[in-house]
Amino acid sequence: MREIVFDTETTGLSFQGGDRLVEIGCVEMVNRVETGRTFHAYFHPERSMPPEASAVHGLTDAFLSDKPLFGVRVEEMLEFLGDAPLVAHNATFDMSFLNGELQRCGRPIVAMSRMVDTLPIARSRHPGAKHTLDALCSRYGVDRSHRVLHGALLDAQLLAQVYVELMGGRQIGLGLVAEVKQEAATPVATAAKPRVARPPRHFAPSAGELAAHRAFISSLADPLWGAEATTSRT
């Protein structure tokens, strides 16, 4: 199964409010294994970059000044996406910007039925815990030491590793292997052999053992069963 894990960086929180997509990073996975194929692009937002947004991802007006418009690379991006499910963390946010840009340049939007949101998956797996990408990386031992600022491709690569862990780790397909091994280990029925009953064995104490027991009982100081019980038993 082919899936695309992706992330975006934007000028703000609302496409409808005038914010724009400035970066997208996509990672291809087949059967939840990264293939090494990626798509990464920066876009000129046709507006200024707010300082609070630049503080998150480090993208500035100067850096984006020579980057193409979204429409210039849209076909290349759509070809990479194909018809695969799209995996993102808090996916409704990323999908709103992706579809906003697609609609703005006259392309069909991506059906929301293709969206796989890892945020509710994480909440279901780990209720009450933190569910940020950083927190999930820490939980699953995903190295994020090189993540100083948010970056769409880097975050998509980190999320791809987290997604595998959220969906059961690297044990995909082991259930089938276990079933095959169990089937192979099932013994073939054979004719039952008649069982021969063994004669009963007696384990009565010897005279020496009885004497040793009486000596031990008589040596106990103030036993719970009292002197009378001790006398009667010995």
Q: Is 34 annotated as a binding residue?
A: no
- 44, 131, 150, 202: the catalytic one is 150
Q: Is 152 part of any domain?
A: yes
Q: Is 89 part of any domain?
A: yes
Q: Is 52 annotated as a binding residue?
A: yes
Same structural domain, 46 and 138: yes
Q: Is 83 part of any domain?
A: yes
- The percent of residues in the chain predicted with pLDDT above 90, rounded, is 69
Q: What is the DSSP letter of 228?
A: H
Q: Is 160 part of any domain?
A: yes
Q: pLDDT tier at 77 (50, 70, 90 boundaries)?
A: very high
Choose between 204 and 184: higher pLDDT: 204
Q: Helix (H, G, I), strand (E, B), or coil: what is residue 191?
A: coil
Residue 86, H or E segment? strand 86-88
Choose between 160 and 232: higher pLDDT: 160
Same structural domain, 82 and 28: yes
Same structural domain, 131 and 224: no
Active site residue 150: yes
Name the residue among 46, 52, 53, 58 with its Cα closest to residue 20.
46
CA dist., res. 127 & res. 113, Å (int) = 25
12-60 pLDDT, tens digit per residue, is: 999 999 999 999 999 999 999 999 999 999 999 999 999 999 999 999 9
CA dist., res. 172 & res. 158, Å (int) = 19
Same structural domain, 165 and 230: no
Q: Is 149 part of any domain?
A: yes
151-183 pLDDT, tens digit per residue, is: 999 999 999 999 999 999 865 444 443 443 444
Report pLDDT for 191: 55
69 pLDDT higher than 90: yes
Q: Is 101 annotated as a binding residue?
A: no
Same structural domain, 119 and 25: yes
Report pLDDT for 183: 42
Same structural domain, 48 and 118: yes
Report pLDDT for 29: 98
* Number of domains composing the chain: 2
Token output for 100: 């906003």
Q: Is 228 annotated as a binding residue?
A: no
Report pLDDT for 192: 59
Tell me the average pLDDT across 108-119. Answer: 97
How far apart, in Å, do the first and last CA atoms of the chain sit?
80
Q: Is 57 annotated as a binding residue?
A: yes
Domain holding 219, by residue range, is 207-234
Report pLDDT for 187: 45
